[in-house]
Amino acid sequence: MIGAAHAGGPTMSVLSKGRYTARFAQGPDDILAAQRLRALAFRDAPTGLDADTYDDQCLHMLVEDDASGALVCCFRLMPLDNGRAIEQSYSAQHYGLARLAKFDGAMVEMGRFCVHPDHHDPDILRVAWGAMTRYVDEAGIEMLFGCSSFKGTSEEAYLDAFSLLKERHLAPKRWLPRVKAPSVFPFARKLRLRRPDLKAAMKAMPPLLRTYLMMGGWVSDHAVVDRDLNTLHVFTGLEIRAIPPARKKLLRAVAG
């Protein structure tokens, strides 16, 4: 079932660091603002909305510039009591997640993560992760998961990145998602003999996924071709207990 953190409403207080503030959406206008930013980031549609039926089941986090009030980043969270509820998630549309249904702890799916294309300050990502860290701690989350997106639907520009994922970051077999989507790039098999150029791989890696990997995250062995959002995406999971202590300390310093 949807977790108690959603049913009872968000408990995290506002997080302010430097010039940015992270907070949960408080009503329809906030959610519309997030949907507009998502349309701009994912659909290159400055006047449109990116909305789906999952929005009503999620908490929505906003990161705003204190000086201008501009929304510079947003993402949504779907808390689940445990893995038995994972078929309710957005990711379950695209991946076979039966193995993760055995996960006993509280989980949260993070989705539609985007930063405004005109804003490139790395502190935006730091504040977003600080807010996520505080939420994870306060809600007792044991696994964070979602889809990490590469822009476009051709894998050619990302072969080194996918090769690095294959070599170092595949999910443990007990959690490995199975193929469900009709169109996928099975990179672990296709690039079995390829050795990655590390510099090229990290340059091509999406910032969100790079952060997951630095914390000990893992990915599916295939990428889903999502023509609706014009992306390739990999299922990404992170067991909170697996985050290296030094990384936890840095995250909590921002979240504190």
Q: List the chain domain ranges.
A: 4-255
Query: Which CATH architecture fits 4-255?
Result: 3-Layer(aba) Sandwich (3.40)
Nearest-10 Cα torsion for 70, 89, 212, 152: -70
Crossing angle of helices 122-139 and 207-214, in 10° steps, is: 50
State how far the Cα of 238 lies from the Cα of 144, in Å rounded to an integer: 5
Tell me phi and psi for residue 76, to 5 degrees: -125, 155
pTM for the full predicted model = 0.93
* Angle formed at CA 4 by CA 181 and CA 148, multiple of 5 degrees: 30
CB 4 within 8 A of CB 81: yes
Residues in the chain: 256
Give pLDDT, residue 256: 78
Query: Under a CB-based contact definition with an 8 Å cutoff, are residues 54 and 90 in contact?
Result: yes
| Centroid of chain to Cα 179 | 19
Distance between alpha carbon 131 and the CA centroid of its chain, in Å? 13
Predicted confidence at residue 181, as pLDDT, reads: 98
Phi-psi region of 44 (alpha: psi -120 to 50; beta: other; left: phi over 0): left
Give the bridge partners for 24, in sequence order. 61
pLDDT 10s digit of each residue in the chain, 256 long?
555 444 334 545 579 999 999 999 999 999 999 999 999 999 999 999 999 999 999 999 999 999 999 999 999 999 999 999 999 999 999 999 999 999 999 999 999 999 999 999 999 999 999 999 999 999 999 999 999 999 999 999 999 999 999 999 999 999 999 999 999 999 999 999 999 999 999 999 999 999 999 999 999 999 999 999 999 999 999 999 999 999 999 888 888 7
Q: What is the pLDDT of residue 148?
A: 97
Q: Which two tokens stand for residue 166?
A: 């294959």
Q: Which pLDDT score is estimated for 164?
A: 98
51's tokens: 């909305």
